Structure 1
Amino acid sequence: MDALGAFLLFLGLVVSVVLSHKQIKSFVSSHASRFKKEKVVDAEKKSMYGSDEPLPKPTPLMITPEQVQNYDDRPWRPFRWPYHQTMSIFRLDINHWLDMDKYYVHYIEEKKRILNKYGKQNMDWLPESYDACYELMETVTEHLIQRYPLLFTVLKDGSFDEKTGKGKIIRNEVTNEVLDMTLPLKEYPLWYVTKLAKEDFYIVKKSPVDEKHYLVAAAVPFPGGSFDVHQKVGCNLDVIHSEVPYYKEKLQKSMERWFNRMKSNEPVERASWYISWDHKLKINNVYQIPKYVPNQEADLSSTDPKEFNVRVERQTLRRLPRSQAIIFTNHPIFYSIEEMKDEPLVPSLIKKIIFEAPKDIIKYKNFEVFRNHISDYLEGLVQRQIEKGIIDKDTPLKTLPSYPFAHWADTDFDYVNGWNNPSPAYDKSANYTEKAKQELTNEND
């Protein structure tokens, strides 16, 4: 499975529902206070859906490079039951387009390792993508400077206008890398994007010939599964995702209509997820094939169920105003099942989904590979929640009211530490960076 496939799978469930202005305002109104401690602009009052007004600038978050080492991102919990077709898309608060967390350095280092080792397998582009990639570079740079003014220092401030501007030189205060984006550029614009943000980026443009949308560039070091960018760039979305569950039935006819009506001031976000027993970003062991990991079953059976984690694929979709390119981003985040054990119904939902989700979803996410191995562990967590009074044995199993975030997400944010998981099962100082490096043992890692 790849991140873009996961997003299109979700979008297939979305496009059959009309996303009206009224529905969006209803959502914003009911969720506007969720992150009020971060002083986000009231989206209900500033609703721009259906207009051509530009997006607002992000609100500065004054965290320092030292504070990033302890900073936790928003706690995603995208578990739904019943697991059926539903609208699970949310308007994106532009403050959270490119989020920061304590794994930022690890992700940037892994990007560099993967792109240097695999090249076009994980990053490639067509010549006609230049204008979109250039605008993306400009947009990412300006966003990070505005959102994190203490993390990105402007050493030379010039316009990115290719006719009259001189470009910028900035220093990444977290990695200490200086990025020279003075004009003419020394590298393709997409390279600068990968050095600045930890997200994967897909750039999609509409062809003037057949009016279909094509993947024209992509920097995807972290697909999590089998995804060869070089083979996908230049293909339209129907070809790329013909094997994605629900694509033909739910998405093929509606995809172009969805993209055609999307405005540059209406970015959206959502999250997908699957389970693995490692923290690899390029390809998780659950998606390895025997050619590279002939001992997968032994590796799995020797792993303590407490070591299993949920890989959440946090995804956004937005249109760039000048090039009209559509930008899809993906940011994987790992949450151990153990750290979520005190959150009401989370173990119950995970157990229910991996055994009783639709068969094609179970196959697509490889649930059958490991679910029997962790079944007793999950059942033990369910019984533990009953014994501790977190849930009752008759508590209805359903999507949590705080979906797609943890139930404590609206109360535990501060500027220094980000979101703070109050559970004693969570160690704030824990960092899996070194463990993730030690896990890189396979030929295609």
Structure 2
Amino acid sequence: MSHQPMHINDWIEIDKDLKWYIEEKTRVINEQGEKVVDSLPENDDACGELLEILVDYLPKRFPTLFQRINCEGDGIWNKVTDERIEGVQGRKGVEALKVCARLVEDDFLMAREREDGHVYFTGGLVAFPGFYLLSEKINKSLKEAHEPVPYFNQKLLLSVERTLKRFKPNEPFERTSWEIVDDRNLFFHNIATTERELHEKQHPKDLFFRVDHQTFRKLPRSKGIIFGVHPIMKRLEDFEDSPLVPALISKLHEEGDKTLMDYKLASVYQGRVLPYLKDMTERQIQRGLIRGDEEVARFRELVEKIPSTQTSLVSPTESELAIKRANKELE
């Protein structure tokens, strides 16, 4: 697992669409229940500690967006949603996690080391996983939970588990992963369903390059391990003015490990995406944004080239509207 140390200021990211994210997360929680938010008894204290840390962190990191309230500071005011949440201390388990959901966009998958020396997933709030459910991971070991992931148990499991057991509360770190998805449904993308095919009305420009910013913290009191996940969605057409990025994404698909690319469902979309990306690259050459003979970088360098501002997910794409009209005509 390629990762790097994380500055604490980078733990939580706030997007201009925070209010939309919180409303969407609330909808998913109400509809999906324990599939997306749950906690084993051994994890309940860690949930409360996570909430306390968030309530302390947010007003310091984002003072214009959050404020502590009450004389004892036992509450927080989310100025974006204008919600005042009181009585933070003492909340545990799912109750605490649902308060976290009303504050930030990030998901939190939680784990801990058990007496057998292995790390197990023990709960969390995972409303925007895109491709899996919390209910499929909870109470499973790292090995069991990662059985579907190519090479993980064979090549990465021992080092990842060792890292998660040894790192300290003052040693947070981060990593990134990526997917190409076909809609704004952060809970479970259409491409992840059993059908796994693109609608004929789906234009490649309206596919999204999803980068998950994954953060890792260990709670000092409960020793809970916190996997934070913040999805960053960039519509492919919005890379038109990002020099070299379309060429880099093409290279990832053309030269990437086939087993890994199949796991990422590349075969579902790359027939439409690769020609589109190559056309975009040619336009960048014609516009003088790139020469066309640059040495193509590695993935970490690709992620660094992606603008930090993501595509707004508030409004549907043209393809989404076209698909909706087509489905309505079939009714």
Instruction: With the length of structure 1 as denominator, give the TM-score of the two structures.
Output: 0.67
**Is 1:406 the counterpart of 2:305 in the alignment?**
yes
Name the counterpart of 1:366.
265
Which of 98, 113, 129 matches 2:12? 98
- Paired with 2:273 and 2:90, the residues of 1 have a C-alpha distance of 54
Which of 245, 248, 252 matches 2:157? 252
The aligned runs of 1:189-228 (5 Å cut-off) are 189-208=96-115, 210-227=116-133
Change (3 A) 1:236 1:433: same
- Paired with 1:144 and 1:178, the residues of 2 have a C-alpha distance of 14
The aligned runs of 1:41-440 (5 Å cut-off) are 89-158=3-72, 168-182=74-88, 184-185=90-91, 188-208=95-115, 210-227=116-133, 229-290=134-195, 296-297=197-198, 299=199, 301-399=200-298, 404-406=303-305, 431-435=312-316
- Paired with 2:45 and 2:299, the residues of 1 have a C-alpha distance of 42
- Paired with 1:401 and 1:108, the residues of 2 have a C-alpha distance of 29
| Partner SS for 2:209 | strand
Report the Cα offset of residue 231 of structure 1: 3.6
Report the Cα offset of residue 223 of structure 1: 0.6
Change (3 A) 1:364 1:400: closer
Change (3 A) 1:131 1:184: closer
Give deviations 1:221-264, integer Å, cap 9, x for gaps. 0010132x224211111111122111122122223321222111
Give deviations 1:312-337, integer Å, cap 9, x for gaps. 11111111111111110101111122
Q: Is the 8 A contact 2:19 2:80 kept in 1?
A: yes
| Partner SS for 1:174 | coil
Runs of 5+ in structure 2 lacking a partner?
Answer: none
| Partner SS for 1:254 | helix
> Once structures 1 and 2 are overlaid, which stretch shifts more, 114-123 or 370-379?
370-379
Give deviations 1:355-406, integer Å, cap 9, x for gaps. 3310111111111101111222111111112222222233222238955322
| Partner SS for 1:242 | coil
| Partner SS for 2:202 | coil
- Paired with 1:325 and 1:91, the residues of 2 have a C-alpha distance of 19
Report the Cα offset of residue 90 of structure 1: 2.4
Report the Cα offset of residue 183 of structure 1: 5.1
Structure 1 residue identity aligned to 2:72: G
Report the Cα offset of residue 157 of structure 1: 3.9
Name the counterpart of 1:18.
none
Q: Is the 8 A contact 1:202 1:329 kept in 2?
A: yes
- Paired with 1:420 and 1:185, the residues of 2 have a C-alpha distance of 34
- Paired with 2:294 and 2:190, the residues of 1 have a C-alpha distance of 34
- Share of identical aligned residues, percent? 34
Runs of 5+ in structure 1 lacking a partner?
Answer: 1-10, 15-88, 160-167, 410-418, 422-429
Name the counterpart of 1:412.
none
Change (3 A) 1:157 1:405: farther
Change (3 A) 1:400 1:236: closer
Change (3 A) 1:157 1:175: same
- Paired with 1:373 and 1:113, the residues of 2 have a C-alpha distance of 32
- Paired with 2:309 and 2:120, the residues of 1 have a C-alpha distance of 40
Report the Cα offset of residue 145 of structure 1: 1.4
Q: Is the 8 A contact 1:202 1:219 kept in 2?
A: yes
| Partner SS for 1:188 | helix
Q: Is the 8 A contact 2:109 2:124 kept in 1?
A: yes
> Once superposed, what is the RMSD of the aligned Cα atoms?
2.5
Give deviations 1:182-214, integer Å, cap 9, x for gaps. 555497222211111110101111112x12111
Change (3 A) 1:354 1:243: same
Q: Is the 8 A contact 1:355 1:371 kept in 2?
A: no
Which one has the bigger helix percentage?
2
Number of matched residues?
321
Instruction: With the length of structure 2 as denominator, give the TM-score of the two structures.
Output: 0.89
Name the counterpart of 1:30.
none
- Paired with 1:267 and 1:189, the residues of 2 have a C-alpha distance of 22
